Amino acid sequence: MRQAITQVDAFTHTPFAGNPAAVCVLPAPQSEDWMQKVAQEMNLSETAFLVRQDDGFHLRWFTPTTEVPLCGHATLASAHVLWSEGHLLPDEVARFHTKSGLLIAKKQGNWIELDFPVNFSEETTAPPELGKALGVSIKTVMKNSLGYLIEVESEDLVRQLQPNFELLKALGVAKVIVTSLTHTDSEYDFVSRFFAPGLGINEDPVTGAAHCCLAPFWRDCLGKDEFLAYQASSRGGVLKIRYDGGSRVYLSGQAVTILRGELI
């Protein structure tokens, strides 16, 4: 079966930045085994597979090792491909049926807004040696369905983190968000990084799902509903966030196509 595949850098307007994702718009459903093998072959943090339905598209996301229930950057990449490759008209809304429910994407000029479920966190006690595994002193520890959310004292600490991934896995910490406020002169409200050794991804370059957790956390801390966030991986990525305290969070990003190919 010959199958078109597109690689997109998401949460950036600059090639070779943001978070790369592969996107396959399938003419018919394929087996989980086939999709997992394609994701392993692409060896990106996520590969997205879409099949058209009457009222939108069925969407699934695979890392090189497993299927995940929610992925922001590959959803953004998928919406970008649907519009840029002519599957949807520019004024049409992208509707995705996923394991996390119905997700909506809207094109707004050069940005794409994603309508995602919020992910609340609760304060908890840090696992033993978590600070040692991260190599940083911990200010606040929260837990949510994605993993741990760790606040540290400064932006510099977030940017300079060099976690011990083997120790994180040994502690049973599969996924962790580390965040802080930015410097007072920054254009961004907060920075973060996301580590997921349990998914076979030591560090994810830019993570939409993490910002579903970060939005309510920073709304509680800062008392505001709109943010400009920066994920400070080596590639870097920018997100606009809108969250008013309800059950949905709105994440906006840009995307750029890097390559188009064909699986043969």
Same domain, 29 and 109: yes
Same domain, 198 and 161: yes
Residue 53: CATH number of its domain = 3.10.310.10
By the 8 A CB rule, do 211 and 204 touch? no
pLDDT of residue 128: 82
Same domain, 193 and 136: yes
Report whether pLDDT(236) > 70.
yes
The residues annotated as belonging to the active site are: 46
Instruction: Provide the residue range defining the domain that includes 144.
Output: 122-246
Same domain, 63 and 143: no
What is the model's pTM?
A: 0.92
pLDDT digits (tens, 9 = 90+) for 20-76: 999 999 999 999 999 999 999 999 989 999 999 989 999 999 999 899 999 999 999
Same domain, 98 and 195: no
pLDDT of residue 126: 85
Report residue 127's pLDDT band, with 50, 70 and 90 as the boundaries.
confident
Beta strand extents in the chain (DSSP E only): 3-10, 19-26, 46-53, 56-62, 67-68, 94-98, 101-108, 111-117, 122-123, 140-143, 148-151, 176-181, 190-196, 201-204, 226-231, 237-242, 248-253, 255-263
Domain count, the chain: 2
Same domain, 83 and 157: no
By the 8 A CB rule, do 135 and 162 touch? yes
pLDDT of residue 198: 81
Same domain, 173 and 99: no
pLDDT digits (tens, 9 = 90+) for 151-180: 999 999 999 999 999 999 888 888 999 999
By the 8 A CB rule, do 189 and 227 touch? yes
Same domain, 102 and 194: no
Report whether pLDDT(264) > 90.
no
